[in-house]
Amino acid sequence: MSLFVVLLALWFRPPNDEVLDERLDTVLSSLLRAERKVMVDDVARPRVAVFGGCVDLIVDAVSLLKKIGLPPTEQPLHHDYIENAEQLTQSFAFFFAPGAAARFMLNETLFSELVESSRDLPGNRWSVGGNAPVMAARMAAEGCEVLLGGSFSPDFTDVLSQHITVTGNTVEEPDIHLILEYPSGASWGQYTARRANYIIHSDDHNPYLASMEEFGKNLEDFKPDLMVVGGLQMMDNFPLGMNEQELPNLLSLLKGSNITVLSDPNPRVATVLDQMREVYRLLNQRSSEMQIAAVALTRLHVHTLAFQAIIVTRGSRWKNTMSATAKASLTANRHVCGSDDIDPNKARLIMDDSFSISRREGSQRIPLQESRPVSCWDEEDYEICVAPVLVCTEVYQTAGGGDNISAAGLVLQI
């Protein structure tokens, strides 16, 4: 019997499994080497000022909807913002299968009801949320001194690292982002999720930049090397943060056309790079037309599930783009798997063996070299780096991933 099982196992084992494992190990050790090339100065810690924030309440989406008695709808529909329970289920159904979305809740009664029901839902988690505090936490953990501006509750500051100084209004009711999480493969009625989470918020403070004045006063003394303003997308009704969903949106916005509500969750490298080039060109064209060099775009970082891509103007102040791209890619795995040590058994490479650098005909193809996985090259006045992501296969968390990745990439570049 056991011999039979062994034979069966051999029979079913795909012949190239071992080759794949080896390839992944080489990519991992090479990315780690690229990341370690640059060390953040422990003594003269880089100074970063970050603005914005809220608290996240994370709950299991399907359990919450069940608990408050909202059954799956027959009609998935897109809504720019949400006014009632029916729109909530329609919008949730619309985004459930393809992936992430954030929606503004206009109905404060309904939002409070959802928050109240979530408070005592088993398995819920509170965490420091919003783009800015997550980025602040990651930057402090990577060796930066951080000034964080925003409207926070008094107990919020207790949970922060000693390297984060908080400035801004103290409020009793901080903005809450309700994160309805579901694992890929989760089902809700006839719908099955491919991945990711759904976020609803009803921000009172962030959109008004309530603590900006206080923050501005402290900024002069703090003398930051870098200032990050997070979560501006919350002022509008679609999500930003620069992943594969937000890039096409930003591009259509710049071109004056409609936003794309749903975009390809697994775009090709060539497509993403073309979109990045165009955003870079359009924004810089505007700043030169307005003759304000100060608003020129000099860095653009896009995350997708399969790879990380960074564009940096040559001769600008951004340093170490290659290592930063490697670090961003490693951070994607660390965050989603919930562990600083990357386990190759819980990782998968989904980027192709080679990629074309543009969709234009006759464009160069770059092979993915395991021992030098980060590819960097020069074009016009900028440099581009692309790194494959070791996609985590045992998901511990997804929310906050983008901010950890952005922040980790930034710290090596200042």
Contacting residues toward ligand NAG, per CB under 6 A = 83-85, 107, 109-110, 113, 127-128, 134, 137-138, 257-258, 331, 334-335, 400, 404
CA 146, distance to chain mean position in Å, is 20
Measured from the CB of residue 332, what is the shortest distance to ligand NAG in angstroms? 9
Q: Which is nearer to ligand NAG, 327 or 356 (CB)?
A: 327
Q: Which is nearer to ligand NAG, 134 or 279 (CB)?
A: 134
Q: Which is nearer to ligand NAG, 84 or 287 (CB)?
A: 84
Q: Which is nearer to ligand NAG, 109 or 371 (CB)?
A: 109
Measured from the CB of residue 237, what is the shortest distance to ligand NAG in angstroms? 13
Measured from the CB of residue 284, what is the shortest distance to ligand NAG in angstroms? 26
Measured from the CB of residue 236, what is the shortest distance to ligand NAG in angstroms? 15
Measured from the CB of residue 92, what is the shortest distance to ligand NAG in angstroms? 14
CA distance 277 to 407: 22
CA angle 276–282–287, rounded 5-degree value? 125
Q: Which residues, including other chains, have CB under 8 Å from residue 18's CB and lie 6 or more apart?
A: none
CA distances from 147 to 87, 163, 257 (A): 39, 8, 37
Measured from the CB of residue 359, what is the shortest distance to ligand NAG in angstroms? 21
Measured from the CB of residue 82, what is the shortest distance to ligand NAG in angstroms? 9
Q: Are strands 191-192 and 307-313 parallel, antiparallel or unpaired?
A: unpaired
Query: Are the CB atoms for 285 and 265 separated by under 8 Å?
Result: no
Q: Which is nearer to ligand NAG, 66 or 372 (CB)?
A: 66
Residue 281, Cβ density class (10 Å: 0-12 exposed, 13-18 middle, ≥19 buried): middle
Q: Which is nearer to ligand NAG, 134 or 328 (CB)?
A: 134
CA distances from 298 to 310, 371, 382 (A): 10, 29, 8
Measured from the CB of residue 164, what is the shortest distance to ligand NAG in angstroms? 10
Helices (H), 230-320: 246-255, 269-289
- Listed residue (173, 115, 163) closest to 139, CA to CA: 163
Q: Which is nearer to ligand NAG, 84 or 363 (CB)?
A: 84
Q: Which is nearer to ligand NAG, 117 or 206 (CB)?
A: 117
CA distance 403 to 319: 20
Amino acid at 405: I
Residue 390, Cβ density class (10 Å: 0-12 exposed, 13-18 middle, ≥19 buried): buried
Measured from the CB of residue 315, what is the shortest distance to ligand NAG in angstroms? 32
Question: Both ends of the chain: CA-CA distance in Å?
Answer: 61
Q: Which residues, including other chains, have CB under 8 Å from residue 394's CB and lie 6 or more apart?
A: 337, 346
Q: Which is nearer to ligand NAG, 88 or 310 (CB)?
A: 88
Query: Are the CB atoms for 55 and 177 separated by under 8 Å?
Result: yes
